[in-house]
Structure 1
Amino acid sequence: MIHHIDMGRTVEERKKAIGALIRKGKVKFGGYRKTKIYGLLTCSSGKRMKVENRVFFKDETEAFNSGYRPCGHCMREEYKQWKRGKRSNL
Structure 2
Amino acid sequence: MIGHIDIGTAAVLRLIRKGIITLGGNKPGKIYGTLSCPSGKRMKTENRVFFENEEEAIAEGYRPCGHCMKGKYKAWKGK
Fold in common (TM above 0.5): yes
Gaps of 5+ in 1: 8-13, 86-90
CA distance in 1: counterparts of 2:10 and 2:47, whole angstroms: 18
Q: Which runs of 4+ in 1 moved over 4 A?
A: none
* Matched residue SS, 1:42: coil
1:17 to 7, 11, 21: 11
Give the % identical residues. 59
Q: Provide TM-score, normalisation by structure 2.
A: 0.96
Q: CA RMSD in A?
A: 0.7
* Matched residue SS, 1:55: strand
Structure of higher RCO (CA pairs closer than 8 Å, 6+ residues apart): 2
Give aligned pairs, total: 79
CA deviation string 1:9-61 (max 9, x = no partner): xxxxx222111101111100000001100000000000111111100000010
Q: Which has the larger radius of gyration?
A: 1
